[in-house]
Amino acid sequence: MTLAPTRYGTETDTFGLVVGALSEVRGRPVLDATADTSLFHEIGLDSTGVLDLLLHLSDAFGVEFDVEELRMRDFATVGTLTAFVQRETGR
């Protein structure tokens, strides 16, 4: 899978890559997302979407996320998800 870094951010822009992965999962651009955008209420992510999102993020960042480290609070907003990805990837 290739995220469109020019559309959602650069390869070094974790927030942009998270938004790109969200766009891929939702099947439509999520261009107006901010750090405070709710993944469930505003973007419409569900439990199946969370799993799909993790697969997209794993591909995008070339890492496997430790399921023991996953917490629902990390999926509250685009910002909390970005912070989780940064912690897990060191980016």
pLDDT, tens digit, 9 for 90 and up, residues 5-36: 434 454 458 998 999 999 999 999 998 899 99
DSSP 13-62: -HHHHHHHHHHHHHTS--TT--TT-BTTTTS---HHHHHHHHHHHHHHHT
Domain ranges in the chain are: 5-89
pLDDT, tens digit, 9 for 90 and up, residues 43-80: 999 989 998 999 999 988 888 888 787 898 999 999 99
Q: Does domain 5-89 have CATH number 3.40.630.30?
A: no
Whether the predicted pLDDT of 1 surpasses 50: no
Q: Look at residue 11 and give its three-state secondary structure.
A: coil
Residue 2: per-residue pLDDT: 43
